[in-house]
Chain A
């Protein structure tokens, strides 16, 4: 599987946020998006997730399942908000997302017990999501990534509110996903310690011509 972006640009209102971004990601490759606040990282990720229409350019998937209309159907998106209901228990939230999303072809989601084990919080799945601390909520939102299988992960500041231990745990999750042939696009400042990692440095509106990317 290969994810290709060609000449992407996006606007918010009248303002051009970024211009002409292209990259190619093969299976088991990660793209780390860095840049100062307001440089368009979140906007780029929302474009990749199909939640914003790009002003120009397009996104392509090669060697993927044929019936897919947009790569977003094969993607997990973890944004700033956790997409979990405070009133429901963690287990109810996770099992809802597992049933609702289903697995993409070519993989199988983890069971609930495995997922909460993987994020290191096996004992609190029976609590309402609203009772959890911000860091625990973020970890449970990550458990959502593995209960339903998606080959592409799009992660926006995934490690906000996490302590050092959870940072490592998250890096392990990403590594395991890449090891199974997945693709990860993440906006993060945390070093993930990956072998095959590309970096896209976004410089924001004033330096549009200066955007570049290179193999790390």
Chain B
């Protein structure tokens, strides 16, 4: 299983892998916001956490459609379906590798983009922490969409649309946890705990659903 993890990591950083595409998209989206909103520093720091979260959500949806489609196109998916190893472990490991290649760079890039948005240190720290906890959920949810759309050419947008409603709670609790840090009376821990619960929930449900979808998509 570690072999699969490292192979997917290697693939994502080789040519055409697309690990950097997500980060670039994230940076582009966030970097243009100050130009659009104007130099109102208070406004920027107020909307900053939300913008970072929206940017990260869209960026993590970007490469998801190729998660299983690339395997299907070259026949690797057939072999993965045949193994004694339960398919859901294979899916889980692929999700983990996908997150490490595309989600983790977003988390690492977020402090820099937080500076763009005139966010305070504590807000940047909180955004990083919530992104770290929340983005795996988006990958696991996205895996289900990617598995459903595996046999569709140009399923990319479809995956995003399928996945977005399920990813909305992640966004809501991620952003509200950050705002709880900035605005004193709101409690920080409950939204963070719910965010962690969502991630754990989808870490279990996602691979099961995606594995079932892949089995039925095989033709």
Shortest C-beta distance, A184 to chain B (Å), equals 16
Residues in A with CB closer than 8 Å to B80 are 100
Residues in A with CB closer than 8 Å to B85 are 100
Residues in B with CB closer than 8 Å to A83 are 74-76, 78-79
Residues in B with CB closer than 8 Å to A92 are 7, 10
With both beta carbons as reference points, the residue of chain A lying nearest to B2 in the complex is identified as: A99
CB contact under 8 A between A101 and B7, given known A81-B74, A87-B15, A87-B16: no
Q: B10, A88: Cβ atoms under 8 Å?
A: yes
CB contact under 8 A between A101 and B83, given known A52-B219, A83-B74: yes
**B218's contact among A52, A86, A87, by CB below 8 Å, is which?**
A52
Instruction: Please encode chain B, from 1 to 13, with 1 for each CB lying within 8 Å of some chain A CB and 0 for all others.
Output: 1111001001100
Q: B83, A100: Cβ atoms under 8 Å?
A: yes
Indicate whether A84 reaches chain B with its CB closer than 8 angstroms: yes
Indicate whether A131 reaches chain B with its CB closer than 8 angstroms: no
CB contact under 8 A between A87 and B14, given known A12-B219, A51-B218, A52-B219: yes
- What separation, in Å, do the CA atoms of A184 and B218 have in the docked complex? 23
- What separation, in Å, do the CA atoms of A88 and B15 have in the docked complex? 10
Residues in B with CB closer than 8 Å to A51 are 78, 81-82, 218
Shortest C-beta distance, A182 to chain B (Å), equals 16
Q: A85, B11: Cβ atoms under 8 Å?
A: yes
Residues in A with CB closer than 8 Å to B83 are 73, 100-101
A contact residues, total (Cβ < 8 Å): 29
**A50's contact among B3, B10, B17, B81, by CB below 8 Å, is which?**
B81
B contact residues, total (Cβ < 8 Å): 25
Shortest C-beta distance, A143 to chain B (Å), equals 14
Shortest C-beta distance, A78 to chain B (Å), equals 9
Give the contacts of B54-84 with A (CB-CB under 8 A).
73-76, 78-84
With both beta carbons as reference points, the residue of chain A lying nearest to B84 in the complex is identified as: A73
With both beta carbons as reference points, the residue of chain A lying nearest to B14 in the complex is identified as: A87
- What separation, in Å, do the CA atoms of A69 and B85 have in the docked complex? 11
Q: B82, A96: Cβ atoms under 8 Å?
A: no
Residues in A with CB closer than 8 Å to B84 are 68-69, 73, 102
Q: A88, B14: Cβ atoms under 8 Å?
A: yes
With both beta carbons as reference points, the residue of chain A lying nearest to B79 in the complex is identified as: A83
- What separation, in Å, do the CA atoms of A81 and B75 have in the docked complex? 5
Residues in B with CB closer than 8 Å to A23 are none
Residues in B with CB closer than 8 Å to A82 are 74-75
Instruction: Please encode chain A, from 45 to 61, with 1 for each CB lying within 8 Å of some chain B CB and 0 for all others.
Output: 00001111000000000
Q: B10, A77: Cβ atoms under 8 Å?
A: no
Scoring B14, B79, B81 by chain A CB atoms within 10 A of each residue's CB, the highest score goes to: B79
Q: A85, B82: Cβ atoms under 8 Å?
A: no
Residues in B with CB closer than 8 Å to A99 are 2-3
With both beta carbons as reference points, the residue of chain A lying nearest to B93 in the complex is identified as: A100
Residues in A with CB closer than 8 Å to B81 are 50-51
* Interface CB pairs A-B, < 8 A, 23: A49-B78, A49-B82, A51-B78, A51-B81, A51-B82, A68-B84, A75-B82, A80-B75, A81-B75, A83-B76, A84-B76, A85-B76, A86-B74, A87-B10, A87-B15, A87-B17, A88-B7, A88-B10, A92-B7, A92-B10, A95-B3, A96-B4, A99-B3
